[in-house]
Structure 1
Amino acid sequence: MARSIRLDAVLVQAVIAGALSFAHLHDLAAAAGQDGWKAWAYPVSVDLLLVAAWRRMRTNAENRDAWLWFAIALIASLGANVATAGLLDLHNVPPWLRILVAGWPALAFLGGTLLAHAPAPAPAPAPTDPPYVESAPDLTVEREADPAPELPPAEPVSEDVPPEPAPATPAVPVPPALLDHARKIANAHRAQTGAPIDPETLRSRLGVPAALADSIALQLA
């Protein structure tokens, strides 16, 4: 019950203060030459700028622009209340006050636009704990040594009879036509020099690679 009475008192106080400030702003605007509906629009503009700046300050307390426009709207509201308290002759308003009242709509429009399009602060990412992974216990496994492979028994080598050499086979296959041509060149070389032709000479005569010349010389031997 006490809580509801307290809330009602706060609301009544806010309504009374807002109505008085609204009336003072209207009277000052009317005295500065803003008649008709324009005089009623001035207090609405000041109060809306004040509320918009306050909401932006609550959203982002580090926004300096919101603090600046809140101070400007508060000075405009306080100035109107003080000026209508008898310190200013509302029937003979000075020119500088008329200039301020006439320039207020552009200033309020600029402030409202900047506050409406101010970027919202990015939310800080929530800290995430790394997943808990249970470490495996240290295990020492002793492995038995593999048995040594058994070697096959060595074959007896006869000391009297030397092993027969394996027949040499050409490393590179030789076409029969090329082999016949090489045999003719070798025979001619033997008839001229009396010595068999060597692989280097055979390679230069035939114009073939060294491996192919070696294979031909092996077959001609």
Structure 2
Amino acid sequence: MRRALYHLVLVQAVISGALSFAHLHDLAQAAGQTGWKAWAYPVSVDLLMVAAWRRLRAQRSWLAWCWFLIALVASLGANIATAGFLDMNDPPALLRLGVAGWPALAFLGGTLLAHAPEPPVDQTDAPSESAASDLDVERAPAPTSEPEPAAVTAAVDPPALPAADPAPTDPAAAMPVPPALVAHARKLADDHHARTGHPIDGETLRARLGVPAPMAAAIAAQLT
């Protein structure tokens, strides 16, 4: 049932469009526009109406309503004028003036509709690129410290030997660094060496990458 109704509406739209098209053509021809110019008028009116309707669906603005009503009046006026209300053999001067000035009016309307500002897009929920990069840095796993070996105590009478101190670990070396960040830092270091002739220092590397000092030290350790 719905599909049959859709086809009926489509047939009705084609018939109505063809009749309106023919009325606009007859009116333009009666106003002194002959040949291809008379056929171009209905195309101009229908295109302006479609452009205004599409703008109305995207944004309900007074500009879209204005040009939609102008195109609707032009189409409806042609349908009424060709129904015997005007002498098509001797149209009034005002009608000739309107038909002659329609191309400039339609061009102005289409240009204004095409260059009308789009509705603002709410971007409050979209995180910025800098915030996303800071979030990635903050999500880097914290360095894990190795447990100190327990002191070995003897079960016999002699005193137990003191436990050996664990080998000092470098927090910068233990901090995990994404390989992509290391590769980017290596490019920055090579560029700095090519421009200055000196290897990049830790403070400059930290400033170029925008990362905390411990992570910059860990990256510098992997670059050596």
Q: C-alpha deviations, 1:63-113, integer Å up to 9, x for none? A: 111000001000100100000000001001111110000000000000000
Q: Which residue of structure 2 lines up, in the alignment, with residue 69 of structure 1?
A: 67
How far 1:55 moved relative to its partner?
A: 0.4
Is 1:104 the counterpart of 2:102? The answer is yes
Q: Which residue of structure 2 lines up, in the alignment, with residue 30 of structure 1?
A: 29
Name the SS of the counterpart of 1:92 in structure 2.
coil
How far 1:124 moved relative to its partner?
A: 2.5
Q: TM-score, normalised by structure 2?
A: 0.55
Q: Which residue of structure 2 lines up, in the alignment, with residue 95 of structure 1?
A: 93
Amino acid at match of 1:11: L
Q: Which residue of structure 1 lines up, in the alignment, with residue 58 of structure 2?
A: 59
**Identity across matched positions, percent:** 69
Find the aligned partners of 2:121 and 2:57 in 1 and give their Cα distance.
15
Moved over 2 A (4+): 124-128
Count of matched residue positions in the alignment of Structure 1 and Structure 2? 126
How far 1:45 moved relative to its partner?
A: 0.2
Name the SS of the counterpart of 1:76 in structure 2.
helix
Amino acid at match of 2:106: A
Question: 5+ residue gaps in structure 2?
Answer: 127-224
How far 1:125 moved relative to its partner?
A: 3.7
Q: Which residue of structure 1 lines up, in the alignment, with residue 130 of structure 2?
A: none
How far 1:56 moved relative to its partner?
A: 0.1
How far 1:127 moved relative to its partner?
A: 5.3
After superposition, the CA RMSD in angstroms is: 1.2
Q: C-alpha deviations, 1:154-193, integer Å up to 9, x for none? A: xxxxxxxxxxxxxxxxxxxxxxxxxxxxxxxxxxxxxxxx
Is 1:39 the counterpart of 2:38? The answer is yes
Q: How does 1:45-194 map to 2 (within 5 A)?
A: 45-61=44-60, 63-125=61-123
Name the SS of the counterpart of 2:63 in structure 1.
helix
Structure with higher helix content = 2
Find the aligned partners of 1:78 and 1:123 in 2 and give their Cα distance.
36
Q: TM-score, normalised by structure 1?
A: 0.56
Name the SS of the counterpart of 2:121 in structure 1.
coil
How far 1:119 moved relative to its partner?
A: 1.0
When Rg is computed on C-alpha atoms for both structures, the one with the higher figure is 1
Q: Which residue of structure 1 lines up, in the alignment, with residue 18 of structure 2?
A: 19
Find the aligned partners of 1:94 and 1:8 in 2 and give their Cα distance.
41
